[in-house]
Amino acid sequence: MRLNSSSLLALKIALEGAAEAGAETELLDVRALDLPMYSPDTDAESAPAAARRIAEAVYAAPGLIWASPHYHGTVSGSFKNALDWLQLLARREPPFLTDKVIGLISTAGGVQGLQTINTMEYVVRALRAWAVPLVVPIPQAWQAFDESDRPRDQVIETQLRTLGTEVARVAQRMTLRDISDPAAECEKAAARAANARVGGRK
């Protein structure tokens, strides 16, 4: 919800990576959407326009990238509220986020952002989606971005872009449900992993 949110800056860079991998991307910013608090008394017909918009965009997307600040050891309330609105997808076919591919980013003031990523992973499983193995917890986010809104650390830039690329790549494979050349796919994946290691990923 913060103006000049570092989570939002990180998300934009990951989306650039997804676009470079050929994905059509859409940014959903909870601050701009101004979502009201979720109420279980609301159904798909009576839900506010912003909530319907987020639910429909999520339903249409084969892949998602989530970014939340680390608040008191977990995701922020506004991020969780946006997830709660996905209850509108409970009775869709397929329900919730079945087989969607999710990339996870957190930003923390300190160095414990992985807790937020772990919280997000519980939600990924509850909503029947799949998280890609690479996750990007950004520590000390107050100093992570420069005046041009780019990461000061090239490793973070590489990891965010790689996350976007991974979500696009795996989402495409989940939608195709078919690998025509398994050997070539394995070689490409190994090259990508080697490049990511050169960029600083363990």
Interface residues toward ligand FMN, by CB under 6 A: 2, 5-7, 69-73, 107-110, 112, 141-142
Residue closer to ligand FMN (CB basis): 17 or 69: 69
In the structure encoding, which two tokens stand for residue 20, read together?
């470079």
What are the contacts of 139-147 at 24+ separation with CB within 8 A? 139/108, 139/110, 139/111, 139/112, 139/113, 140/108, 140/109, 140/110, 140/111, 141/6, 141/7, 141/10, 141/69, 141/107, 141/108, 141/109, 142/6, 142/109, 144/6, 144/10, 144/107, 145/6, 145/9
CB 38 within 8 A of CB 85: yes
Question: Smallest distance, Å, CB 78 to ligand FMN?
Answer: 10
Question: Smallest distance, Å, CB 88 to ligand FMN?
Answer: 25
Residue closer to ligand FMN (CB basis): 107 or 119: 107
Residue closer to ligand FMN (CB basis): 13 or 108: 108
Tell me the one-letter amino acid at 58. Answer: V
Question: Smallest distance, Å, CB 66 to ligand FMN?
Answer: 12
Residue closer to ligand FMN (CB basis): 105 or 131: 105
Question: Smallest distance, Å, CB 141 to ligand FMN?
Answer: 3
